[in-house]
């Protein structure tokens, strides 16, 4: 087994210690940090597949997310040292909508989207519509992601989309909503472009959008 395979496997086995150790070794041996990030992306995809197959569950995604986050925190400084930048596939502004504070799902999307090559601006939880609007003006993202777990959040999603429309920014971004209680109806009601109940499918959808855009 190559070190790359071992590295990816350790993430898939949620073996945090081993994954980090391997990343450290590789960095210290002067391996290209971009390659490690690329493998992180592969790992993220495989994790998504495991989730779809019913082998992984939310708890696993949280743990995998934490491991990937730590590894990317290890790799990024090295990347800067070398003056390299990773080619970004798109920019995502994301937040849990006003009135809701659940962020487990949102945080998983953040990690998986970063691994997939997105630049992610995370606005946190209980984000009011105006903050989304400001962030769109400031960061000019390709995609806006809104998350909520409680039913009330769907109303907030609608308000946020309305605020984005009002600011004349609706045609500048694609909007995806996610969370345990969103569905086709919530998408129609809120005026978003897509919906998802799980992070992996959501990230796939966003990558598809970016491919279309090119």
Partner 1 sequence: MVLVTIEPYGSRVEVCEGSTLLHAIRLAGLSITSLCGGFGSCGKCRVIVISGSSKLSELSQLEVKHLRDSEIRAGYRLSCQVRAFNDVTLYIPVESRVRVGERRAVTRGFMRKVEVKPLVKKIRVQLPPPSLRDQRSDLDRLIDSLKTVVEESKVEVDYEVLKNLPTILRGSNWDVASVLWGREIVSIEPGDAFSESYGVAIDVGTSKIVVHLIDLTTGEVRAVGLAENPQLAYGEDIVSRMTFANISEDNLRTLQLLLINSINELVESVCRQAGVSINRVYEIVVVGNTAMHHFLLGLKTKYLSASPFTPVVGRTISFKARDLGVKSSTGAIVTFLPVIAGFVGADAVADALATGILSREDNVVLLDVGTNTEIFVGNSERMLVCSAPSGPALEGAHIRHGMKAVDGAIEEVSISSDGEVEYRVIGDAKPRGICGSAIIDIVAELYRNNFIDSRGKFRRSYGLKRLRKSVNGWEYVIAWSNETSIGKDIVVSEKDISEVMLAKAAIYAGISVLLRRRGLSERDISEIIVAGSFGTHINPLSARIIGIIPDVPGDKVKFVGNTAIMGADMVLLSIDARSEAEKVARTIEYVELSADPYFSEEFSSALLIPHKDVEKFTLVKALLNQ
Query: Which residues are near partner 1 by CB under 8 A?
Result: 14, 16, 54-55, 57-60, 62-63, 65-66, 98-104, 107, 125-126, 150-153, 180-181, 183-184
Residue whose C-alpha is closest to residue 199's, from 126, 105, 116:
105
Under the phi-then-psi rule, with left for phi > 0, alpha for psi from -120 to 50, and beta for the rest, what region is 96?
beta
For residue 8 the two structure tokens come to 């990816």
Query: In the complex with partner 1, which residue's Cβ is closer, 31 or 60?
Result: 60
Q: How far is the CB of 1 from partner 1 (least distance, A)?
A: 19
Distance in angstroms (rounded) separating the CA atoms of residues 71 and 60: 17
Query: In the complex with partner 1, which residue's Cβ is closer, 170 or 187?
Result: 187
Distance in angstroms (rounded) separating the CA atoms of residues 186 and 147: 12
Angle, helices 3-12 vs 16-28, to 10°: value is 150
Query: In the complex with partner 1, which residue's Cβ is closer, 34 or 104?
Result: 104
Q: How far is the CB of 204 from partner 1 (least distance, A)?
A: 19
Query: In the complex with partner 1, which residue's Cβ is closer, 30 or 54?
Result: 54
Q: How far is the CB of 184 from partner 1 (least distance, A)?
A: 8
């Amino acid at each position: 087994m190559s070190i790359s395979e071992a590295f990816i496997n350790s993430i898939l086995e949620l073996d945090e210690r081993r994954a980090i150790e391997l990343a450290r070794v590789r960095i210290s041996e002067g391996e290209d940090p971009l390659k490690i990030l690329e493998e992180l992306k592969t790992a993220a995809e495989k994790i998504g597949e495991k989730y779809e197959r019913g082998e992984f569950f939310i708890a696993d995604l949280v743990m995998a997310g934490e491991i990937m986050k730590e590894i990317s925190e290890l790799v990024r400084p090295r990347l800067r040292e070398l003056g390299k930048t990773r080619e970004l596939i798109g920019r995502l502004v994301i937040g849990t909508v006003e009135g809701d504070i659940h962020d487990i799902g949102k945080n998983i999307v953040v990690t998986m989207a970063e691994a997939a090559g997105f630049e992610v601006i995370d606005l946190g939880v209980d984000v009011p519509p105006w903050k989304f609007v400001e962030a769109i003006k400031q960061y000019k993202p390709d995609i806006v992601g809104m998350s909520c777990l409680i039913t009330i959040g769907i109303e907030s999603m609608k308000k946020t989309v309305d605020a984005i429309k009002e600011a004349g920014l609706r045609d500048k971004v694609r909007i995806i909503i996610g969370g345990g209680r969103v569905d086709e109806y919530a998408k129609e009601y809120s005026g978003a472009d897509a919906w998802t109940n799980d992070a992996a499918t959501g990230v796939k959808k966003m990558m598809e959008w970016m491919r279309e855009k090119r």
